[in-house]
Structure 1
Amino acid sequence: MRKHTTAAALAAVSALTLAACSSATPGETGGEDGGDAAESIKIGIKYDQPGLGLQEGSDFTGFDVDVARYVAAELGYAEDQIEFVETVSANRETALQNGDVDMIFATYSINDERKALVDFAGPYFVAGQDFLVKADDDSIEGPEDLEGKNLCSVTGSTSAQKIKDEYASGVELVEQPGYAECMTALESGTVDAVTTDDIILAGLAANQADPSAFKVVGNPFSEENYGVGLPKGSDQCEAINEAITKMIDDGTWEQLITANTEGTGYEFNAELNPPEPAACA
């Protein structure tokens, strides 16, 4: 999840994406009557998560982005038919409900509260909630250690509230609009820790000017199933699940994980990954 991926990794991802794009003809799954697919598809992603969803100028990189490209290709969309739209945590349900996006690949954990508002395909990855702290801070080893401390997370994320509700009622929650602001607060000492999923934290640390100044605690205490957010009543769930299954079976899934986490020291939980997409409702 480094800001600058190696040339070899970029070449691997590019080849995988092109292969995926050639595997489906536009219209195979895009139209209800079997006709041509829509002219474009709007996909919600994060713009500030290195290794997962990151915008740099006109380029979009990361595991979520690569999975989105693969799935879109399987649905019949060429690369130039994909429009990426920034979708922050607090606005994901609204974006789907208002038709601002057709689907979302944005570290979007599946839970019952969200399922009441939107539909999900997947999951396509399972992460675990953890903490990012300064490298010399050994006072935080688990969620119970946040009692009386300041904890940062982004607006719309459930991570920090979960700690307050279940582990440390005296924690002081500090919400910021994005992870960049949380990192600034951590660096300045305004907060003691940043919490979200381990794979996100690894990318945030690796993207700093001095990555050695921070560390992921390395004690995940939850399972976060990343799903593809869809509007309620969408008929795309099964086709997306088929695409995810194909991506896993043909080896693309693991190659994309490797390319996007190279150099961070991150290792995915092999007991949980790759996941098996759940049956569509």
Structure 2
Amino acid sequence: MSPAQLVVQYLPYLRRYARALTGSQVAGDAYVAATLETLVSDPAAIGPHSNVKVSLFQVFTRIWNSLAVNGENEPAGRDLPAEIRLGQITALPRQAFLLSSLEGFSEEEAAVILDASVDRVRELVDEAGRELAADIATDIMIIEDEPLIAMDLESLVEGLGHRVTGVARTRTEAVELASSKRPGLILADIQLADGSSGLDAVNDLLQTFEVPVIFITAYPERFLTGERPEPAFLIAKPFQPANVSAVISQALFFQQTARRRERAA
């Protein structure tokens, strides 16, 4: 495949990373669009003999790190939403954390993407882990119809210091469970046992209260097209514990940051 074809192949993963980094589908996809605009104007940014995925993330990172984190300087011609104004968040450690934990880049690849040494990447990942773990324990509801996967998620979530309010197998069970114990975060499969949808279950719940949601699916590329409203936080099946940990930390971190802003307003 040509470099252009390979770039298209890796776009869903770049969207996943960008959405996790910004906490928003709209904001993340805007940065991906800015990356593509850069590549159109400068195709040589991805050389014919380079690791295309690493190079693509490297171009994205140069754009992201060239902008003020507080949103004062945003991609030209793009009206990014408030979610991009990250205030006090330390951006570079989160990038290293997500590149390694969510996207599975090696330390050497992350170092190339971030234009840093391998030792520096290790320091950043450790710093992000401490930052993201601080004061984010919450009650988590799991919507999953496969018992073994539900058990794995429950064990993983509790191992991270969170509490599981319960496991729902269908849309109806999810609504009933949330009415008895309101969660601080939802982990939801998209296709459920009775043919109902985790997306519909979550939409039902979000009509009564706001909560961060992470979707889990065996077909993530279907929800990373950038063509319609899609999840900001998405985990692919089969998942690795590090992936789940990273995305839960990000989702709760953005929620806490938003609450701090509201209290300060």
TM value normalised by structure 1: 0.25
Higher strand share: 1
Higher helix share: 2
TM value normalised by structure 2: 0.26
